[in-house]
Structure 1
Amino acid sequence: MQSTHFLCSVVSYLTLKALKRSQGKLNWGLFYFHRWWRITPIYLITMAIWSSLMIHFVHGPSAHYIFSSSRQLCRDRWWVNLFYLQNLIPFPGNLNEMCFGWSWYLAVDMQFFIITPPILYLLYKRPRIGIATVIGLCLVSFVATASIAAYWGLKIGLNEGYYNERSVGHEEADRIYAKPYTRISSYLVGIITGYVMIKYEGRKTQIPKWGLTVGWCISITFGMTIVYAVWNTHHVEKSQVAAVLYLTFSRFTFALAVAWVVLVCVFGYGGPVNAFLSWGIWAPLARLTFGAYLLHPMVLFAYIFASRTLFHYQGSMVVYSFVATTVLTYAASFLLSVIVEAPVIGLEKTLLRRKTKQ
């Protein structure tokens, strides 16, 4: 979801820049349509491949059961995915019983995108009210997440079970993971990041060396803490207070760490980090990342479910599997981009160009 933070920063920056250029006038209908048209066709095509074709491509001990159950789930709930509601319907839901399970991210991202224009317009027109709105939404998210985590006794990491009996009988229910009201805080950090970028654009932003040192130390500490706080949880059980705090603030805190990296790079203080992230080799890969996100579980499942022997962990095997999966995923994403994504984008540009001429 931290990719959501980065993309939100870009959306926030570009939209605020367009509002500034057009003095607050923007075609919001086209704003929404472009988003829907940009991701929906390729999303539906990959969902069709997953639910209808994978069962014919992969044969193995687990393949038939997994793909046949996925096919039935998609037949029953395809319309939920079409309207980006699969993380909410049925409520609270089960990630293991979702058509195209990893698409919960698209649902959350689309739901955030729908509420983005009012927030951005407030930031453009009434910055103080806009910032207050963002802070208020973050506080609501924190309270909701903490309340859910405490009430249902949810644990973190590899800690098994629950802190109370309320979740017994509903162990597979998704209470927090794919819900927009528990994840929106990191998205809002992205919006504010874009706002800061546009606010200080063209200015010579001075950050003293001590400020950079403190900022990097805090950013690294936040990022590493969130990653390693759940380390060794298969041996040590965290307290409920620690679990509630982690579930409530982990995504927000990690988003702050990412926001720092984005801003120092934009303001010219990124140094080698900026040089690495700005490396030209990432540009062509970046155009294929959406397709790679949609396709990579299929590549993994085709490999795993076709196996007739157990997997034994070995470092070299993991490296080989990672490299092979990455190469095959991006190769498949390239084909999907050429066959589906590029024609769809080209069609939109053609239609908009005709409309502009008329």
Structure 2
Amino acid sequence: MQFYVISPLFLLPLFWIPALGVILCVLLLVASIIATGLISYGVRSTSDVPSLSFMNLDMFTSVYVAPWCRVGPYLVGVLLGYALNRTQCTLKLPTAAVLFGWITSLGLCTSVIYVYHGNVHEGGGDSLWSDIGGAAYDAISRPAFAMGVAWIILACVTGHGGVVNSLLSHPAWTPLSRLVYSVFLIHLPVMVWFGMSQRTMLYMTDSMMAYIFIGHVVVSFGAAFLVSLTIEVPLVAVETVLLGKKQWRRK
């Protein structure tokens, strides 16, 4: 919501002076990466609690939820939206460029997810990484993952998605896609509720984590369904009536 409020700072320059708007977005993206790295390093170097632990409130408040540390993916999305608007989703790329894009996207997304696995699995937190290494990961991981997802979107809407586009565009996803925003809002309270309700320590194994993950997904979507029925859909209907539209069809 905060980024939505300040979006004219990005969108107006892109509309009036496109080159200036692109430069501004890139500079802000770089500034966010640098700021995140510096803040993370400062917290890591002065704290004895592993940064992945929810008990490290300094890391949670200073990095995890700080807007200036999370604006990177939003800026990547703004640049992607601008590119799609300028090209009207008709971008034609040579086969070599498409192949390079898919390899890069796959490498970015999988690296961000799995590069930390050995550190967490063996170190029980992030004790195997230096403060600089951990800070670098905090600074780069989110924008890098967003860039990987941005390529998937770009490829799919411009006709370079192939089987990936067929899979992601399948009508079977439509009911779930209408709940994803509610899931986004509610999944963290669900996870916190689960963690705070435990009365004993959990022994984390791969199978246990998979089981917990599946449970979080099911409960989050179930709760999101109720939230959508009781809050989102009625409010959208009221908004439609107030705006004087004759028909309402949820997109």
Sort the TM-score into its range (normalised by shorter chain).
0.7 to 0.9
1:78-89 correspondence runs (5 A): none
Q: Which of 119, 124, 145 matches 2:15? A: 124
The Cα offsets for residues 277-318 of structure 1, whole Å up to 9 and x where unpaired, read as 111111111111233334445555666666677655676666
Structure 1, 174-183 or 140-149: larger mean CA deviation: 140-149
The answer to whether 1:208 aligns with 2:69 is no
Matches of 2:196 and 2:69 in 1, distance apart? 32
Q: Corresponding residue for 1:179?
A: 66
User: Greater RCO between the two (CA within 8 Å, min separation 6)?
Assistant: 1
Deviation at 1:202, TM superposition (A): 5.7
Q: Corresponding residue for 2:226?
A: 335
Matches of 2:169 and 2:107 in 1, distance apart? 24
Structure 1, 220-229 or 187-196: larger mean CA deviation: 220-229
TM score, norm. by length of structure 1: 0.57
Indicate the percent of aligned positions where both proteins have the same amino acid.
30
Q: Corresponding residue for 1:272?
A: 163
1:134-283 correspondence runs (5 A): 134-154=25-45, 171-173=56-58, 174-201=61-88, 203=90, 205-233=91-119, 234-235=122-123, 237-283=128-174
State the one-letter code of the partner of 1:196: A
Matches of 2:100 and 2:155 in 1, distance apart? 12
**Cα distance change of structure 1 residues 295 and 219 upon mapping to structure 2, 3 Å threshold:** closer
Deviation at 1:201, TM superposition (A): 0.8
TM score, norm. by length of structure 2: 0.79
Deviation at 1:249, TM superposition (A): 1.4
Deviation at 1:149, TM superposition (A): 2.7
**Cα distance change of structure 1 residues 323 and 184 upon mapping to structure 2, 3 Å threshold:** closer
Matches of 2:161 and 2:80 in 1, distance apart? 16
**Cα distance change of structure 1 residues 320 and 188 upon mapping to structure 2, 3 Å threshold:** closer
Matches of 1:245 and 1:176 in 2, distance apart? 12
Judge conservation of contact 1:154–1:243 (CA < 8 Å) in 2. Answer: no
Deviation at 1:189, TM superposition (A): 0.5
Matches of 1:150 and 1:300 in 2, distance apart? 27
Judge conservation of contact 1:219–1:256 (CA < 8 Å) in 2. Answer: yes
Judge conservation of contact 1:261–1:270 (CA < 8 Å) in 2. Answer: yes
The Cα offsets for residues 76-111 of structure 1, whole Å up to 9 and x where unpaired, read as xxxxxxxxxxxxxxxxxxxxxxxxxxxxxxxxxx11
Structure 1, 214-223 or 297-306: larger mean CA deviation: 297-306
**Cα distance change of structure 1 residues 312 and 241 upon mapping to structure 2, 3 Å threshold:** closer
Q: Between Structure 1 and Structure 2, how many residues are aligned?
A: 234
**Cα distance change of structure 1 residues 324 and 161 upon mapping to structure 2, 3 Å threshold:** closer
Matches of 1:310 and 1:172 in 2, distance apart? 20
Cα RMSD between the aligned structures?
3.0
Deviation at 1:122, TM superposition (A): 1.4
**Cα distance change of structure 1 residues 201 and 180 upon mapping to structure 2, 3 Å threshold:** same
Name stretches of at least 5 consecutive residues in structure 2 with no aligned partner: 246-251
Name stretches of at least 5 consecutive residues in structure 1 with no aligned partner: 1-109, 163-169
Deviation at 1:275, TM superposition (A): 0.8
Judge conservation of contact 1:186–1:252 (CA < 8 Å) in 2. Answer: yes
